[in-house]
Amino acid sequence: MDGELLWRGFILGLAIAAPVGPVGALCIRRTLAEGRLTGFISGLGAATADLLYGCLAAFGLTAVSAFLTAQQMPLRIVGGAFLLYLGVRTIFTPPPADAAIKERGKGLLGAYFSTLLLTLTNPITILAYVGIFSGLGLGQGTGGYAGAGLLVLGVFLGSAGWWLFLTTALGLVRQKIGAGLMVWINRIAGVAICAFGLWAILGVLL
């Protein structure tokens, strides 16, 4: 039973992390421009947010969940504005040879916390976890706090596993990408990230 709960959490975390969204676009760009480690650490920021939201859903912290849901408008505006900033910055990021010098000072902590903040400001994430946990009958009803803990551990491992797979695969082809192509990858990723940011803000205002 314990192994089953861990496995179900793993599949859930993998399923939520895998679809390409703003965090995925950001991690792809960072992996190609700055290497596998930076991309993976960025993904771990998102996986940590998945862990926190999974805890809220699994342990039945309805008061906190309700508060975050009630703050959906300001959270989405903040998240959307942050995405616009990241998108514009990505568009104008120079090719890797020059970018490495500018990015070195920011380090891995900046990569981690930027995706953590980005994922935490998306209340849709917690709604997804609450809905899935309830619909599948997961949570404290499947073994109390111990069972819920195994589920959220599985969620984290599934999400982190996806980012490890993605960044490792991209790292294998990174050296074959020239500076000219990297400029266009930055522009395409930046436009995509900006589009996600505009969608988040307009979804609240309209």
Question: What DSSP string describes 113-161?
Answer: HHHHHHHHT-THHHHHHHHHHHHTT-SGGGTHHHHHHHHHHHHHHHHHH
CB of 176 within 8 A of CB of 42? no
- Give the tens place of pLDDT for each residue, 99-124: 444 444 457 898 999 999 888 887 66
Cα–Cα distances in Å, from 45 out to 41, 91, 131, 135? 7, 22, 23, 27
Q: Is 140 exposed, middle or buried (0-12, 13-18, 19+ CB in 10 A)?
A: middle
User: What six digits make up the tokens of 34?
Assistant: 């700055």
The residue extents of the domains of the chain are: 2-205
Two tokens at 151? 């589920």
Quick: pLDDT tens for 9-41. 898 888 888 876 888 888 988 898 888 999 999
